[in-house]
């Protein structure tokens, strides 16, 4: 029924941020996206991941070979072939990011070959996906922080997230300023693993007084006992969340089995693409825990329509900006939701090749 995959190639683009950015544990001034294009039957499927450009080299030199020649409808077989090929390369990290971009490209390709939107291939739990605005970097001035978060609320979002954990002397003032700027909207914070357990316990009380309802990575996401401690002892009404660094299903199983989170996060461009993301969603269903989609909004929106216990999707400033710069058809939030376009086949994305070329690094 489906033609064979004729060619699969990867390229990478590094785009400067609009100003220097930082969170509790990292600072950066650019974002790299690795784009995969898969060709079959006169159609090109597109997938991507946010990682180091070397993932493009890994795909072009090794992983593309195990996918080329397979049937374009056999996404599971291709997924498994890439997992096996990556076995001795170090599956978590770069290899899983590469796997994710390949998987997304093949889902997009299959939908395009059928002439249907990608969401038509997924369980249809919803037509649109609730989002929260995400940015609020620790590098921002107070006016920039206030303007960004209030802007999302003015655009119809009822939930916004800011970064904390870099400078304890400034965080309380920053959170209070954010709270004042957004009125009744829900305020989320992300410490990116910056705090010790006891620091995080103290901050949970301080943040609760500012009406914070979402505490992300208060301690390292590898400290499952620490996350569980925070989950059990944080004030009522404050959810503990983590999971964005999950690259395989067992990672998420360990996190859920440890009772470490009130809401699990997963990144479709890291956790094995749409195939991996749907598996994580099933784990969440079995644990009666909500799933929140981490960033990459123009792919995550489609994937999230297929998730039963979906909480929301992270509408991340850097990725929203980059996806609109590089892709025709990138999604924009409307009334606090992303709406995958049912009139466009696949993901509905087209790489702006001329515009992208100036940013190409691989
Ligand atoms: Mg985070």
Centre of ligand 1 from the C-alpha of residue 154, in Å: 23
Tokens found for residue 268: 């479709």
Tokens found for residue 1: 């029924």
The full length of the chain comes to 362
Share of the chain above pLDDT 90, in %: 100
Domain 7-115+351-357 maps to which CATH number in 3.30.70.1450, 3.30.390.10, 3.40.50.620, 3.50.50.60? Answer: 3.30.390.10
Q: What is the dihedral of CA 268, 272, 273, 274, to 10 degrees?
A: -90
CB 338 within 8 A of CB 128: yes
pLDDT digits (tens, 9 = 90+) for 159-181: 999 999 999 999 999 999 999 99
Domain 120-346 adopts which CATH fold?
Answer: TIM Barrel (3.20.20)
Q: Using a CB cutoff of 8 Å and minimum separation of 24, what contacts does 352-357 make? A: 352/325, 352/326, 352/327, 352/328, 355/325, 355/326, 356/11, 356/13, 356/35, 356/326
Mean of pLDDT values over 28-43: 98
Residue 34 is predicted with a pLDDT of 99
Centre of ligand 1 from the C-alpha of residue 172, in Å: 19
Centre of ligand 1 from the C-alpha of residue 197, in Å: 17
pLDDT digits (tens, 9 = 90+) for 315-344: 999 999 999 999 999 999 999 999 999 999
Phi, psi of 240 (to 5 degrees): -100, 130
Tell me the pLDDT band of 241, cut-offs 50, 70 and 90.
very high
Pick from 33, 52, 23: nearest CA to 216:
23
Pick from 19, 235, 227: nearest CA to 141:
19
pTM of this structure: 0.98
CB 85 within 8 A of CB 63: yes
Question: DSSP class of residue 322?
Answer: H
Centre of ligand 1 from the C-alpha of residue 180, in Å: 23
Ion ligand 1 — residues with CB < 5 Å: 190
CB 270 within 8 A of CB 246: yes
Rounded Cα gap, residues 53 and 63, in angstroms: 15
CB 78 within 8 A of CB 307: no
Centre of ligand 1 from the C-alpha of residue 317, in Å: 12
pLDDT digits (tens, 9 = 90+) for 294-304: 999 999 999 99
Tokens found for residue 192: 């990116």
Mean of pLDDT values over 72-92: 97
Pick from 329, 256, 245, 332: nearest CA to 287:
256
Rounded (5°) CA angle 16-20-21: 105
Residue 1 is predicted with a pLDDT of 84
CB count within 10 Å of CB 12 equals 22
Tokens found for residue 209: 């007084």
- The DSSP secondary structure of 212-279, one letter per residue, reads EEEEE-SS-TT-HHHHHHHHHHSPTT-EEEE-TT--SHHHHHHHHHTT--SEEEE-TTTTTHHHHHHH
Rounded Cα gap, residues 215 and 161, in angstroms: 10
Rounded (5°) CA angle 226-230-231: 115
Residue 28 is predicted with a pLDDT of 98
Question: DSSP class of residue 339?
Answer: -
Instruction: Reply yes or no on whether the pLDDT at 207 is more than 90.
Output: yes
Catalytic residues: 163, 294
pLDDT digits (tens, 9 = 90+) for 101-155: 999 999 999 999 999 999 999 999 999 999 999 999 999 999 999 999 999 999 9
Residue linked to tokens 């440890």:
258
Domain boundaries, the chain: 7-115+351-357, 120-346
Quote the mean pLDDT of the chain.
98
């Amino acid at each position: 029924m489906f033609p064979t995959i004729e060619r699969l190639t990867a390229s990478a683009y590094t785009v400067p941020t609009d100003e220097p950015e930082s969170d509790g544990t990292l600072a950066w001034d650019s974002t790299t996206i690795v784009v995969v294009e898969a060709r079959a039957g006169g159609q090109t499927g597109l997938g991507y991941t946010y990682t180091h450009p070397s993932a493009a080299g890994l795909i072009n030199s090794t992983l593309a070979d195990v996918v080329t020649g397979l049937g374009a409808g056999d996404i599971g077989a291709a997924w498994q072939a890439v997992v096996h090929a990556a076995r001795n390369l170090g599956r978590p990290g770069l290899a899983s990011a590469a796997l994710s971009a390949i998987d997304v490209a093949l889902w997009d390709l299959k939908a395009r070959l059928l002439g249907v939107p990608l969401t038509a291939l997924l369980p249809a739990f919803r037509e649109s996906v609730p989002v929260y605005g995400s940015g609020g970097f620790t590098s921002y001035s107070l006016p920039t922080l206030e303007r960004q978060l209030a802007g999302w609320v003015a655009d119809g979002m009822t939930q916004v997230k800011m970064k904390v954990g870099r400078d304890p002397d400034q965080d309380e003032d920053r959170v209070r300023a954010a709270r004042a700027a957004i009125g009744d909207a829900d305020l989320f914070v992300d410490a990116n693993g910056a705090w010790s357990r006891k620091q995080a316990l103290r901050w949970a009380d301080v943040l609760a007084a500012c009406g914070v309802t979402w505490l992300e990575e208060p301690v390292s996401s590898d400290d499952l006992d620490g996350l569980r401690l925070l989950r059990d002892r944080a004030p009522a009404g404050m959810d503990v969340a983590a999971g964005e660094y999950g690259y395989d299903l067992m990672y998420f199983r360990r996190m859920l089995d440890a009772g470490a989170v009130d809401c699990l996060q997963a990144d479709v461009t890291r956790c094995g693409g749409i195939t991996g993301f749907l598996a994580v969603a099933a784990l969440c269903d079995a644990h009666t825990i909500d799933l929140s989609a981490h960033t990459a909004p123009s792919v995550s929106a489609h994937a999230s329509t297929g998730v039963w216990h979906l909480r929301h999707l992270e509408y991340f400033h850097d990725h929203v900006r980059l996806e609109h710069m590089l892709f025709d058809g990138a999604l924009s939030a409307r009334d606090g939701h992303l709406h995958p376009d049912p009139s466009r086949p696949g993901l509905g994305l087209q790489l702006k090749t001329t515009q992208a070329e100036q940013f190409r690094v691989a």
